[in-house]
Each structure stands twice: as structure tokens, then as C-alpha cells.
Copies of this chain bind each other. A is one copy, B any other.
Amino acid sequence: MYGALIAIVAENQMPENTTKKSDSAEQSPLSAGRAKVTINDIARLANVSKKTVSRVLNDHPIVRAETRAKVKQIMAEQGYAPDPQARALAFRRSFLIALAYDNPSPQYVVNMQRGILDELEGSDYQLVLHPVDRSAANFSEKLERFVERHRPAGVIMPPSVSEDEALCEMLRSQSCPYVRIASRDLDTPAHMVRTHDADGAAQAARHLASLGHKRIAHIHGPKSFRSAHERLAGFKDGLKEFELELDDALTIEAGYTFDSGVRAADNLLSRSKRPTAIFAGNDEMAIGIYSSARKLGLKIPDDLSIVGFDDTPMASRIAPALTTVRLPIRDMGGEAARALLKLIARQEVTENQSFNPEIIVRESTRSLA
């Protein structure tokens, strides 16, 4: 009690009160006061203008090293951090990073979020969520409205949002930095984080072919997803290495969902000459094949080998455990955030990291005895 009282009295007697009135509120930055420390307090304490403090804050090169050190020290002493709202207003852009996504897999979405958050940690940027329904007529306008009004620092787009050229054109016209995660080079290297889906699918093909399978089917995702094309193409290429060709009659489109996987498998497995192996474009559909096979009394992997794509948690928990192709989603999110931060800081970006999938062999595949 007394300590605090004395401190206040001392404060009121200090000569700095006789200095010319600054436009900051009267407050005592040295006491453990409730009022927030502002740029004006730092400027006063360092005997410089607020503009100089601002220069230090923004790492502007033209500040004397001595001045810079002094300002930095006082900022540290006072626990000063600039107000993001004030900077946003002056900068005409906010400290929001938007994730615009439409991937239906919760595991994918959560991992992507985590990867981005890993990278944003400690920065002033906040991750805001913008789920997108690409089948809705006005989805593009909604995002545009958000960008116009909130002026985000940047936008990250995983597939299939990343494949929307009109959306990216809109972001460009708003001068909004963005990074696209996709299975093809859709943009300049600085704006791309590439995944090599085709390569992963080729690994799946080699695995099945080397086990002796010949009548191999493929259930791929919707044509509206680039990844569906890439995985199909890669799978074909992988088979070709073994002098095998993917039969069109054994190639079916489905919706990347469990139910669509069940239906596609029902179709394939009820044929007189059913395939001995199926490569599914993602794990959800692969699990659907399990369900269909069970219904028809087929044993996995004895009667049917299955390979998925994604390596969701379910893949390792289901029986028999699913052989699948894994993409490091979290790392991809991290790289996208890193790339975006560089773009925002107008740093030179030549190329970002690209990601190779890896096949995880488990129990759902076996050699055709």
C-alpha cells in the first residue's frame, strides 16, 4: 500500500510533468498501471519523435543504430507492443490471415489449421476461417466482400479452392497476397505450394503391380478436383512401368465420400470378373470399399487388396489396417503460412517447398498367391 502511494506522489513531483503536453493521455508508464503503453509513451521516454519509434517498429533501415537500440530497450522495459487495430487502420490492411477451404475431411482441415497456426505463433497475425461452398452461386462474392471490408494480410487456399482461377484473379485485383496449395503448378512459384499427388498414386500402382495384381480397379474423386486427375494419371503411369494398363471399365468416378465409395465398390465387386485390387482416391472411399466387400462376403486382403490415399487416423485403426498414401498436411500448412508471410513482407521468394507423398504399407494389400 505505502509503496504504491509513495510512487504516485513521486510521479507527480517529477519534472517530466513540466515538459510540453504530449497528445498521449496522462499516465504513469513506470508504475504497474492499468493504462496501456502507447507509441507516445515510448517516444517521450526515449526523447525521440513517435515517427522514429514507428521506424524502429517497422524495421525501417534509416535509423541511427544508437537511436534504434535505445528505443528498443525502452520498448522492452515497458513491455510495449503496438496496437494491431491502430496499425491496421493506418496500414489499410488487417492482421488477419484467412483460410479459405472446402476440403470435406475434418482431419485434413484440422491438420492444415495446425500447420498454419504453428507458423503464425508469436506473430501478430490471426487465423480466421472461411469455409467455402464452391457449388453455391455467390461464394465468390462473399469472399470478395470479406477481402474488401477486412483487408486481410493474406489468404491461404488448399485444394479445391486453390484451383479456382476467378477467385485468385479477384485477390490479385484487390492486391491481396495469397498462397495456393495444389497438385499442379497453377501460378507463379511464389504463390504455390506443390504436392506431387501423381507420384503418390504411382507408388500405389507399383505396390499393387509388384504384388502380382493385374485386374486392378481405380475409384477416383470428382472431376472437379484437380487431385482426382493427378492421382488417376499418376496411377496409370505407375502401372505402365509394369506393362499394365488401367481398364476404363474398372475406372469409376465417385465423390471422395464414404457413401460414394460404397456404391462404386458395390458396382465393381458384383461383376463376374471382379478386380483383385482397388486403388481408392482417398481413405474415405477406401473404407467404403471395406463395407461393400463385407456385404459381399469378400475377405480383405485375401480376396481383395485395397490402397487408399491420405492416411487418416481411421486408416490405422480399421481392421485390417489400410495401406495408404500419406501427404504431410500439417507441414504443408506450415509451408503455406511461411510462404505467405514472406509475400506479405515483400521478401524475395523464388520457390517454396514441395511435398512428396509416401506409401504406408499395412494389412489391406497382399500378393496374389
Chain A positions within 8 Å of B, measured between CB atoms, are 36, 81, 83-86, 88-89, 94, 96, 106-107, 109-111, 113-114, 117, 124, 126-129, 131, 148-151, 258, 287-288, 290-291, 294, 313-314, 317-319
A-B contact pairs, 23 of them (CB 8 A): A81-B149, A83-B149, A84-B150, A85-B89, A89-B89, A96-B126, A106-B106, A106-B107, A106-B109, A106-B111, A106-B313, A109-B110, A110-B110, A117-B129, A117-B131, A126-B150, A127-B128, A127-B129, A258-B313, A288-B317, A291-B317, A291-B319, A318-B318
What is the chain B residue whose CB lies nearest that of A107?
A: B106
Minimum CB–CB distance for A166 against chain B, Å = 19
Give the Cβ gap from A324 to chain B, nearest Cβ, in Å.
15
- Additional pairs, 11, CB under 8 Å, beyond known A85-B151, A106-B111, A314-B314: A83-B89, A84-B149, A85-B85, A85-B94, A88-B88, A96-B128, A106-B109, A106-B110, A290-B319, A291-B317, A314-B317
Complex alpha-carbon distance, A314 and B81, angstroms: 45
The 3 A-B pairs with the shortest beta carbon distances in the complex, nearest first, are A106-B110, A85-B88, A126-B128
Cα A117 to Cα B107 with chains together (Å): 18
CA distance A151 to B81 in the complex (A): 13
Chain B residues near A109 (CB-CB < 8 A): 106, 110
Complex Cα distance, B96 from A346, in Å, reads: 26
- Asked whether B89 lies within 8 Å of A114 as measured between CB atoms, the reply is no
With a cutoff of 8 Å between Cβ atoms, the chain B residues found around residue A84 in the complex are 94, 149-150
Measured between alpha carbons, how far is A107 from B117 in the docked complex, in Å?
A: 18
Nearest B-chain residue to A295, judged by Cβ? B319
**CA A127 – CA B126 in complex, angstroms?**
9
Which B residues touch A294, using CB under 8 A? 319
Which single member of B86, B94, B113 contacts A129 (CB below 8 Å)? B113
Chain B, residue nearest A108 (CB): B106
A94-B114 Cα distance, complex, nearest whole Å: 23
CB distance from A126 to the nearest CB of B (A): 4
Minimum CB–CB distance from A285 to chain B (whole Å) comes to: 11
Q: Which of the listed residues A111, A127, A288 has the most CB atoms from chain B within 10 Å of its own CB?
A: A127
List, in ascending order, chain B residues with CB within 8 A of A127's CB: 128-129
Q: Are A317's CB and B150's CB within 8 A?
A: no
Tell me which residues across on chain B come within 8 A of A114, comparing CB atoms: 131
Chain B residue at minimal CB-CB distance from A95: B150
